[in-house]
Chain A
Amino acid sequence: MPETFILIPGRTSKQGCGISEGKFKENYQSEINVVQVAPQDMQRLGLSDGDRVRLTSPSGRIEVAVTAARGDELPPGLLFIAYGDMSSRLMGGDTHGSGMPTSKGLDVELEKIG
């Protein structure tokens, strides 16, 4: 059963370094293709590091790996992903008159693959 989360895309050191190293390089690609999940949510949903999940927003769908967020970085109910190609696929095209698509705090459904 898919469950609704709030997704926060954001910058990370690795993602920042990856831009300089090259967007087609392994470091960058691995960083932007992993979603962080609160440990409590991981446990509850029976997820382990490296499991693949499908994230679906009203505007798009991606498949990424999961990893448990460190310590108490993420409260339950929130997901974090490094800003990039994957996170942007979940954004809508509408900017609500601001020029800025809603790029943080996106409602997404998370579903384990397989």
Chain B
Amino acid sequence: MSLFKISGGTVYDPANGVDGQVRDIWISEGRIVDAPADPQVRPERMLDAAGLVVMPGGIDMHCHIAGPKVNMARKMRPEEKRQAEPVRRTPRTHSGTMGSVPSTFATGYKYAGLGYTTAFDAAIPPLSARHAHEEFADTPCIDKGFYVLMGNNHYVMKSIEQNEPEKLKAFVAWLLAAAKGFAPKLVNPGGVEVWKSRQAGNVSGLDETVASFNVTPRQIIRGVAQAADDLKLPHSVHIHSNMLGMPGNWATTLDTMQSLEGHRGHLTHIQFHSYGGGEGDENTFNSKVQPLVDYVNQHKNITVDVGQVLFGKTTSMTGDGPLGYYLSNVYKSKWFSGDTEMEAGCGIAPIEYRNKSLVHSLQWAIGLEWYLLMEDPWRVVMSTDHPNGGSFLAYPQIVRLLMDRTWRQEMLKTVNPLVRQRSQLADLDREYSLSEICIITRAAPARILGLAHKGHLGPGADADITIYTPDENKETMFELPRYVIKAGEVIVEQGEIREPVYGKTLHVSPEFDPGIEPDIADWFEKYYSIRFRNYPVTADYMHTSREVACGKEG
């Protein structure tokens, strides 16, 4: 048993109450261990972290990095890759391309280079689960997992329509296990099914009946949230609410929170769902973060990630088919739409956030309001909904915006001036501490995901550690970690990949009544275009993996 010691670093480990104290960290076999009882024991390897800041590895709990939608976006945007800095092969690493949708190897290297050691793709149709796993096998350096799209799944809607919660629960479990996914995901629940059924179809609120199914989005949200809780899944239902991006959608978002009826629920990229104003009316567009934050502050069953918008060009990609159509019409851009039978949709369009635009400037401000107004940092997570709001590579910039109010005010001067009237960002003088940054980028996502072995530096935790050189400019500090350690191996030094490791795929396998399988099989063979037997992802697709146990209370 070889020991590795990181000595004398200034440690931030909020999950264990450590807030900037000088500590040693001991590692053995990829895990953090207690310091040896015998003070004579010497480690085989040592890393001097004196004067450096030590944190758990970052966790991106909502991004788009693998699977059919991401790969379509790669294929669709050669123009961006040609302009981006090339990712050259080295004797230790594969080559790749950047742009807003990096190739798989580049994705792994760049996350690691940023000090992130775990990331979850947020939207995989289970019919394409195999594809996501294949890409994961080519995404080095990080642990990864994905959420399984089920908000427009016919079996889900059918079970709810027939008022069979037990059947729903068993199906959710079966589907997660079949896809080797991590959590149930709802994207515009019900709305994507309507999109498939008629021109520009969508639902407008939680109580509109979904075409061909006698169910409402409210019932889908409530039903899957309950199933996730009943199954004691490590992560709750992960919700991309209806009406994303529409003026006035905050009411639908509040409705979504209420529809959980006390069940756990994670509302993702909440920024895109916090808008006031009249329907389709940009002139009345404004921030409605306050009433939503008030509700979240009072309801501990709810967690959020932000989906921060940064200015510049990027690619919008979503399981929300009608949203892709809307955006491609707004931008007059090329457009990909892909409907997956029985399950899901997909929309992709190149977009640009401009700081002269009132709408885009407000989106930027609304994201920041969420970070600054949430009282409890343990229930708000940093995200850009990569690449939808911007690249994950913008995280250091967000850190600076949160830690440095002077700079934030400078930035505010450069955006559309009407933002000062339509949001309260100018009046917010809160600054995040390093410990709070540590919470919203690693400790909180680990806790929200139910990953007991991540997001902290206590004994038993994965030895995923990021070591930073302190700097007055927090963007500088966070964009180039001094060392990144994955499962006890130094994989990055000052931005350069040292020893590429591949990381694990995290998935769940909840227990369910196998008596449901014949019913699923009957339905499946009737409507799917592949055979039931060829649907579940078998164990040989998991290169290295870790099943995360269900059963712990949320």
Q: Answer whether A and B touch in the complex at a CB cut-off of 8 Å.
A: no
Interface residues of chain A, those whose CB is within 8 Å of chain B, are none
